[in-house]
Structure formats: C-alpha cells, structure tokens
A and B are shown apart, each in its own frame.
Chain A
Amino acid sequence: MALTLDDPNYHFLKVTAGALATFGMYSVLYKETKIYRFFEHMFLGLAAGLSLTLLWTQTLYDLWWGPLVGRTADKATEYGQNGAWAWVLVLPLAALAYTIFSKKHNWMSRIPIGLLIGIGAGQAIQNWFNQYGPQIENSIKPAIPTVWSRFTVPDRNGLPQAALDNVNNNVYGSQAINNLIFLVTLLCVLSYFIFCTEFKSKLTKGMSTAGRLMLMVGFGAIFGTTVMTRFALLIDRMYFVWIEWLLESLPRMLHR
C-alpha cells in the first residue's frame, strides 16, 4: 500500500472531519442539540477507548509487564533484565477494589483504596517542605536600604558585569518600600484565611478586609493573563476552520 498518512486526499478527509466536529461541538453554544449530543458521546467513547489503550501501552506495559517478565538484551550495549514474579500479585490486590460492586464483600475494596490513600497522604507529607519551603524563603526580602544616595534602581541596561552585580546586590529605597508592601500584603491575605478567631480590633478587621481586596487584585491579574491563552486557542480553532479547511485544503482538493 503506497498510501501514506500525509496523502492529500486522506488529509482532506481528516481536516473535514475536524471541521465538522468543530461546528458540531459549537452548536451547543446555541442550544443543546442532537448534533452536539452525537459528538459529545463520540468524544466520550473515543476518550474511554484512548484511556484503555494508554493504560496498557504507556503504563502497564512499561511499569508492570516489563518488570514482570523481564527481557533479554536486544541492544549490544546493555544487559538483559530478569523477570520479577512478585509483580503479578498486583492483580489480585487490584481485583479487591472491584468487590465494590458486591453487596457482601465491598469492604474489601477499601484495602487497595486505603493503601493508595495512605501512599498519597505520605507523599504529600514527604514533599510538603520541598514544595513550599522555597516559597517561604522567597517571601523573605530585605526591607532596609543599603544605599541612601539614590532612591530608585539605576537603569540596568548597558552596565558592565561588575556594576550590574553591584546594582543587583544593593537594596534601593524604592525596592525596600516594595518589599515592605509585599510583606504587608502577604500578612493581610494570611489574616483573611484565619477561621477560628473573631476579629474584634480595628487593625485585625482592617487587615482581613484589605487581604480580601488584595486577593481580588491577584485574581484580576490572573484573569487578564489567562484570557490571552483562551482567546489564542479560539482564534486557532477559527484559523483551522476558515483558513486551513475552507481556504487551503478545500481548494487544493477541487483543483486536483
């Protein structure tokens, strides 16, 4: 069979299918129609099929089947690997989870599940500091200027390395103030997340209110940055439909 995956006819078929799928799914923006329902169910089916395929090809084959049966070296550069029979015990263990469908034995499903929960919890505790320690350290910024001669940070570009290091190493007045603002913001927001005391004093009340407002600033900024990605993807979809399918792929088909 000489036909290859980049054959124009086949490619057109594929692109057309994609375009139809696009419009089919978009139809839901108007209302939930039979067309959408069709594509939705197809999507769910494909996804399920894909997951099952990947379950073997990307997880079990490498992580389970490989160690279980081992392999004889195929490359001159490496040793073979022996099979470890104990891996087969995973099967009955996992099977326990499926007792959930039985009224009588469903408690057994809690053994593998419990094990997984335990492992997850353990890992969470194990990684906790590695994950958040750096963030804590990162929030510690010097707030006393080391230079009083000037307030703002000098223009960095075009400076020789030594001078640049000096600038980077110093703390200028403006930076000190920013670092203080950073700290205050951090504390305010943290105080908003204190649940078990009623804030009575003006200060603490003010702090937690300010904290909530600061959160809104953060959220607004995130919103702004995320909008770009979302719109870019929509534009790409439209490009796919209008340009790649309608203006490029279709004419190429017709001119053959």
Chain B
Amino acid sequence: MQYYDTGFWQIVFVAVLIVFLLFNIIRARRGKSLFIRRIAGLSAIDEAIGRSTEMGRPVLMVPGLSGLGPVGIQAVNIFAYIARTAAKFGTPIRICFADAALYSVAQEIIRDVYQSEGFADRYDPTAVRFISDRQFAFAAGVAGMILREKIAAAFLLGDWFAESLILAESANSVGAIQVAGSTVTTQTPFLIAACDYVLIGDEFYAASAYLSREPVLVGSLVGQDWSKLLIAAIIVVLMVQASIEKALVPQTTQETQEGPGLIWTSKPIPARLKKRSDLLENRLFNPRPPAALSPREKRKLNAWEKDSDQ
C-alpha cells in the first residue's frame, strides 16, 4: 500500500470499519443484548422443514457455485442451522456442492451437527454431495436430483449465477417451497420471480446472526450497520463538499511537474471551472504520487494525468 499524499486515508477508512466490527463484537460478548429486525425469508425456514417432514420428502440445500470463501462458509453455517432442525424431525436432507473444498468443510460441519444433536445414526454421509465444478453440469445434476427425489423444500443460498433459475424453477415444478438468496446482484431478480422467499442483499449475511442469536454474529451485524451508516455519511458529506467546491470555488492553479526529479509545482492560471480531477473528493480516492519518481511511478503518473483529463 502506498501512503503518499492521501494514500493513508483508505487504510484509515478500512481500519475504522474493522474497529466498528470488533468493538461491537466485544460489546455483544460482554452480554449487551441487541435487536435484529425481522427477516421474512428466514422465518419461513421452520415452515419449510415442517412441510417436508409431513410429506416425508427431502430438504435440499445448495450454495450455488460458492467456493471456500466468506460466502460459501456463510451458506454452510445457515445450512448447519437448517440441518439441526431437520435432524430433530428426522427429515432427510440433501446438500449439493460445486466446490470440493467447501464440500469437505460442509461434510464435517453437518456430521458434527448430527452428532451434537445426538442423532449420529440419522446422518447419511451421501446426503452431502459434490456434484460437479462445471457450472451447467452442476445445474443438470442438481435439477435431475430435484425432479427425481421430488424435494419438498429448497434453500438456494450463496453465490448464484445463471444456473439459479434452472434449480428454482425445477424446484417450483415439483411444488417445493423455495427460500433463496444470492450475493450476485444480477441473479436476485430471477430468484424473486421464481421463489417464495428471497433474502435480498446482505440479509444473507444477517441470516446466521438472526437464526443463532450468537453474540459474536449479532455484534458484528451491529458493526455492519454502523459501517453502512459511515459509508452513507461519507458520501453525503463529500457530495455537499464537492457541490460547493465545484459551484463556488474556481480553479486558479495548475499543478505541473518539472525538472529531472519531476517536482510538483503549482502555477497560477486564469480562473476556470474545476474538473472532476480538481475536486478534493477525487484526490481523496486517487492519491497523487510524490516527487522524485522511479520509472514505474512515472508510468503510473502519466496514466493518472491522462485519466484526469477526460
């Protein structure tokens, strides 16, 4: 990371976000009880499981194409909660993966869930499956399973791409309740069209906190709210600032570089309207390289200048 000019600023920004998160996690651990608003999609989970228990048909859980990252593991955490409930009722479950590493993590977690609930005998190791790491082979495989096993409830939570609708509609065609949520914004509309309940945006991340009420998670959820407010605040403040600067403060100097070391010198010029690149907000986000530049820095600099001209 480069610290020159305003470079430090983004580090500070990220640091503040992290502090918000940790502070609230600690607060929650200290036993401060915190509120979470109702999330429709999640209240439906028990209903869905109940239904499939009555029908004696399996509950399907799919994290889309999520890999071994934040999204995938979040999905698995939610699935663990669902599996716990399913284990109590002895409802059969199916979890399909497109990523081998995530699959292995999940298999262990789900096994633990069944053991901790004291239903180790009910755990079927083939319930957690790796289907294929090729997008549409995966879709074909899961769709086939949905139709063959006539699943009664489908939880489609994670990184969904084009394949989302194939599974959602297949599940709908066998009359399953679907609870879906995608971290891929372009897929959410299709899930909304095809599914009964949809987790929009980071309701997906709120889910595990909402379900488990685990202090750590609830705390971090509060931290996330603070962070979002911070972003909103920054945008508003800088927008006001930029508006005023642009409307009222004319640009009277031009910064150019001279000499072998390419030293920045600001020269007076006839007053003109500020370009975007003259505005403070732009400079905050695009730190300006320092004097005495190495060749690589010079290249970056030229690029930067060209950029600020358009």
Tell me, yes or no, whether A and B come into direct contact in the complex with CB atoms closer than 8 A: yes
The verdict on B147 contacting chain A, using a C-beta distance below 8 Å, is: yes
**In contact, B201 and A193 (Cβ under 8 angstroms):** yes
Q: Which of B13, B104, B222 has the most CB of A within 10 A?
A: B104
Question: Given the complex of chains A and B, what is the CA–CA distance between A129 and B10 in angstroms?
Answer: 7
Q: Mask for B176-208, Cβ within 8 A of A = 1, else 0?
A: 000000000110111011000000111100100
Q: Which residue of A lies closest to B242 (CB)?
A: A142
B37 sits at the interface (CB 8 A): yes
**Contact check: which of B140, B242, B281, B286 meets A25 at CB < 8 Å?**
B140
Query: Is A198's beta carbon under 8 Å from chain B?
Result: yes
Question: In the complex, which residues 24-78 of chain B have their Cβ closer than 8 Å to any Cβ of chain A?
Answer: 34-37, 39, 67-70, 73
User: Is A215's beta carbon under 8 Å from chain B?
Assistant: yes
CB of A36 closer than 8 Å to a CB of B: yes
The CA-CA distance from A144 to B260 in the complex, in Å, is 41
Residue numbers in B under 8 Å from A136 (CB-CB): 231, 234-235, 285
Residue A62 interfacial (CB < 8 Å): no
Residues 228 to 258 of chain B near chain A (Cβ within 8 Å) = 228-229, 231-232, 234-236, 238-239, 242-244, 246-247
Known contacts A113-B105, A193-B202; A169 and B273 CB within 8 A of each other: yes
Find residues 119-167 in chain A having any chain B CB closer than 8 Å to their own CB. Answer: 120-121, 124-125, 128-129, 133-134, 136-137, 139-146
Cβ of B37 and Cβ of A144 under 8 Å apart?
no
What residues of B have a CB within 8 angstroms of the CB of A143 in the complex? 239, 243
Count: A-B pairs, CB below 8 Å = 165
Q: Tell me, in angstroms, the Cα distance from A197 to B229 when the chains sit together.
A: 12
By the criterion of a CB under 8 Å from any partner CB, how many residues of chain A are at the interface?
62
C-alpha gap A113/B100 in the complex (Å): 11
Q: A residues within 8 Å of B by Cβ? A: 25, 28, 31-32, 36-37, 39-40, 43-44, 46-48, 50-51, 97, 100, 106, 109-110, 113, 116-117, 120-121, 124-125, 128-129, 133-134, 136-137, 139-146, 169-171, 179, 183, 186-187, 190, 193-198, 215, 219-220, 222-223, 226, 230
Given A97-B104, A230-B162, 15 further pairs, Cβ under 8 A? A32-B147, A43-B137, A46-B137, A124-B70, A133-B285, A134-B285, A136-B235, A140-B281, A193-B228, A196-B37, A196-B222, A197-B35, A219-B188, A222-B189, A226-B190
> Which B residues are closer than 8 A to A by beta carbons?
10, 13-14, 18, 34-37, 39, 67-70, 73, 101, 104-105, 107-108, 131-134, 136-138, 140-141, 143-144, 147-148, 162, 185-186, 188-190, 192-193, 200-203, 206, 210, 218, 221-222, 224-225, 228-229, 231-232, 234-236, 238-239, 242-244, 246-247, 273, 275, 279, 281-282, 284-286
